[in-house]
């Protein structure tokens, strides 16, 4: 079994980088051998080949849902599709498209879980806001809990 934890986002735009920063944090942890961490940046359409090689995919990204900063959402890929004319992140659409390509070749991950984190500020700057920075250990623990559930399913 192979589980990929993918952090996506733009580290040059403050809280937009929460996914990448969480993966950086998780690199310091003792993870099960089944887990691979990946910094996907904002190039999600290019990740298609990696999606064909994993059984389970856990994605961490900034997601605006109109809740307080640091709120964590558990989503499915179809939750990222915009209703009609709503704005959507280009890397979220790229993620959905890459997963669709993997499905077309019959090699989509069995499970895809997205943890979205409500940002406080998306603006130029390489540091997360303090509110989001404080949430990194909690986000990592939620991801670890999900990993343990997936491993125990076998």
Q: What is the pLDDT of residues 15-67, one digit of tens each?
A: 999 999 999 999 999 999 999 999 999 888 788 899 899 999 999 999 988 89
97 vs 134, higher pLDDT: 134
What fold does the segment set 3-152 form as a domain?
Answer: Rossmann fold (3.40.50)
Whole-number pLDDT of residue 152: 92
Between residues 61 and 100, the one the model is more confident about: 61
Q: Which residue, chain included where needed, has tokens 């986002």? A: 9
Q: CA quadruple 48, 137, 13, 65: dihedral positive or negative?
A: positive
- Of the listed ranges 8-12, 37-41, 95-99, 116-120, the least confidently predicted one is 95-99
> Residue 88 — very low, low, confident or very high, per pLDDT cuts 50/70/90?
very low
């Amino acid at each position: 079994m192979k589980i990929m934890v993918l952090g996506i986002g733009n580290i040059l735009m403050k809280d937009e980088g929460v996914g990448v920063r969480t993966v950086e944090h998780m690199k310091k942890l003792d993870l099960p051998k089944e887990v691979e961490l990946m910094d996907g940046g904002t190039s999600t359409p290019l990740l298609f080949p990696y999606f064909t090689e994993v059984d389970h995919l856990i994605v961490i990204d900034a997601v605006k849902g109109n809740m307080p900063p640091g709120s964590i959402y558990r989503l499915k890929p179809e939750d990222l599709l915009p209703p009609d004319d709503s704005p959507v992140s280009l890397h979220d659409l790229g993620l959905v498209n890459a997963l669709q390509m993997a499905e077309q070749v019959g090699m989509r991950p069995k499970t895809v879980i997205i943890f979205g984190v409500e940002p406080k500020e998306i603006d130029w700057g390489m540091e997360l806001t303090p509110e989001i920075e404080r949430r990194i250990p909690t986000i990592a623990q939620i991801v670890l809990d999900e990993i343990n559930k997936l491993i125990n399913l076998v």
